[in-house]
């Protein structure tokens, strides 16, 4: 009997609030981000799930989101594995820049292509496909076997690292994934079949911005 995979995007970060490209930079959560993480944790507590293991990225905004959620579900001591394979997409030369300033420098259309295309990376950075190229193997070798062994697994990570996973789980094309945005702090609960395909998907809580 396969277990359950829960994916949660971190709550709002200080750089989200300032409209900056973040990538592998390491700002913490805002007050709203903490509130969003608490809401996600409460939704999981209400759902009634207990976790066997958790995964997060090498970045503090995802780690602190996970910590808040685990506090909410009374599992603060849960085994947690951190790996930069789950880090946000690296925005390269855009990292730390205000998105409006980037548009002024490179033009609205070019910045839109870097942000929303599947395989065109910003200068010195990663495309969504590049991000998937490190997320997918890690999922297959480390996370998926735990779920298939019947464990309940929590992953707290980032908009693009999780979008690359959702693309595979939901069997989306590279065109379809471009219009998918993941809401901050909102858990997505996947139950998997024994062959690793998705049996069911449930989004807990606020659906605004989930699609």
Four-residue CA torsion sign, 195, 3, 163, 80: negative
pLDDT score recorded for residue 116: 85
- Phi, then psi, of 154 in degrees rounded to 5: -110, 130
> Model confidence over 78-91: pLDDT tens digits?
999 999 999 999 99
Q: Is the pLDDT of residue 23 over 80?
A: yes
Q: What is the residue-averaged pLDDT of the chain?
A: 94
> Model confidence over 51-63: pLDDT tens digits?
999 999 999 999 9
pLDDT score recorded for residue 206: 56
Cα distance between residue 29 and residue 159, in whole Å: 14
Q: Where are the domains of the chain?
A: 4-203
Which residues participate in the annotated binding site?
9-16, 22-23, 61, 88-91, 99, 115-116, 159-160
Kindly compute the dihedral angle of the four CA atoms of residues 109, 115, 116, 121, in this order, to the nearest 10 degrees: 100
Positions marked active-site: 10, 88
What is the pLDDT averaged over residues 183-189?
A: 97
Which residues participate in the annotated binding site for substrate?
9-16, 22-23, 61, 88-91, 99, 115-116, 159-160
Instruction: Retrieve residue 108's tokens.
Output: 């609205």
For 4-203, CATH gives 3.40.50.1240
pLDDT score recorded for residue 104: 95
Q: Is the pLDDT of residue 190 over 90?
A: yes
Q: Is the pLDDT of residue 177 over 90?
A: yes
> Model confidence over 81-129: pLDDT tens digits?
999 999 999 999 999 999 999 999 999 999 999 988 999 999 999 999 9
Q: Is the pLDDT of residue 210 over 70?
A: no
How many CB atoms sit inside 10 A of residue 46's CB? 12
The answer to whether the predicted template modeling score (pTM) of the entire model surpasses 0.85 is yes
pLDDT score recorded for residue 33: 97
């Amino acid at each position: 009997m396969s277990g359950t995979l829960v994916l949660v995007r971190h709550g709002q970060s200080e750089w989200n609030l300032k409209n900056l490209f973040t990538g592998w930079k390491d700002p913490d959560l805002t007050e709203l981000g903490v509130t969003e993480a608490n809401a996600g944790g409460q939704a999981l507590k209400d759902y009634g799930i207990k976790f066997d293991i958790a995964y997060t990225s090498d970045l503090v905004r995802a780690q602190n989101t996970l910590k808040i959620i685990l506090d909410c579900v009374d599992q603060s001591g849960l085994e947690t594995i951190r790996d930069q394979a789950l880090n946000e997409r690296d925005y390269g030369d855009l990292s730390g820049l205000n998105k409006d300033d980037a548009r002024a420098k490179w033009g609205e259309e070019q910045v839109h292509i870097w942000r929303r295309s599947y395989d065109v990376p910003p200068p010195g950075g990663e495309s969504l496909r590049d991000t998937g190229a490190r997320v997918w193997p890690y999922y297959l070798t480390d996370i998926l076997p735990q779920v298939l062994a019947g464990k309940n697994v929590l992953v707290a990570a980032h908009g693009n690292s999780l979008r690359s996973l959702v693309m595979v789980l939901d069997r989306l094309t590279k065109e379809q994934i471009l219009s998918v945005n993941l809401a901050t702090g909102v858990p997505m609960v996947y139950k998997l079949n024994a062959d690793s395909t998705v049996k069911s998907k449930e989004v807990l809580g606020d659906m605004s911005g989930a699609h």
